[in-house]
Structures are given as structure tokens and as C-alpha cells.
Amino acid sequence: MVSSKYGAKQFMMIVWAVFLLSSDLVLAKSRHPISDAEIRQKKNDCYADIESGLWGQQCTSSIIAKENCALRCLSPICYELIYESDPLEEGEKDFTRNSEYKYCMHRASLGESLDGIRGSFDN
């Protein structure tokens, strides 16, 4: 009887530790925001994956398709928030959404809320 109580107590401690370690608060928080150099490196890695065919033919059909795929690869959550409902189009330069996307990546890298990012750079 004593050993089963001890085993149950140990089991609950392990479950609690796993819960704490896997919570968003622990996993997402960082002491420093993602740097421009880290973003460039990750984006270059995404381009390499796209060019190797890992993202499928739809991502190599045009320069803008490649850019949309690279943005999705770099940060799926920020792409979904900023670009998914209205992807970049041929010849489009959208500085406002680009700023929002970078701000989203910065906030996400710190584990901060992404609420209010969309539209935060509108005039």
C-alpha cells in the first residue's frame, strides 16, 4: 500500500513537471528577440528548401510564389496572421505588411501575444 501511494505521488510529480516544461510560457519565451541576421539565415534556409523541391512545385512557379512560400516557411503563424488572407502579388511592394510581419516575428520570438499586430502599422 505504501509503495502504490509513493508511486502515484511520483507519477503526479512527473506529470506536473512535463506540463510545466511543455507550457507555452516556458517553450516560447526567449531572453532576446530574433535578430535580423537570424531572420536572414532562416530565410536563406527556407529558400534552399524551396529550391530543392521540399515545398512543392507551386512554390517555384514564380518569384512571388517563392517569396510567399519563404514567408510561410520562416514563420507560419506570422504568415497566417499577415499574408494568408491576401498573399503578395506580382510586382507588389507592401511595406506596411512587411513591417507587421517583422514585428510579429519579433513578438513571437519573445513569446509575447500577437494580438493587435495586424493593422498596427496602418496610417
Q: How far does Cα 41 stand from its chain's mean position?
A: 15
Percent of the chain past pLDDT 70, that is, above it, reads 75
Do the beta carbons of residue 24 and residue 111 sit within 8 Å?
A: yes
CA distance 120 to 110: 18
pLDDT, one tens digit per residue, over 18-67 is 554 444 444 445 578 999 999 999 999 999 999 999 999 999 999 999 99
Give 79-105 pLDDT, tens digit per residue.
999 999 999 999 898 999 999 999 999
- Rounded to whole angstroms, the Cα distance separating 27 from 11 reads 22
Contact 100, 106 (CB under 8 A): no
Question: What's this model's pTM, rounded to 2 decimal places?
Answer: 0.72
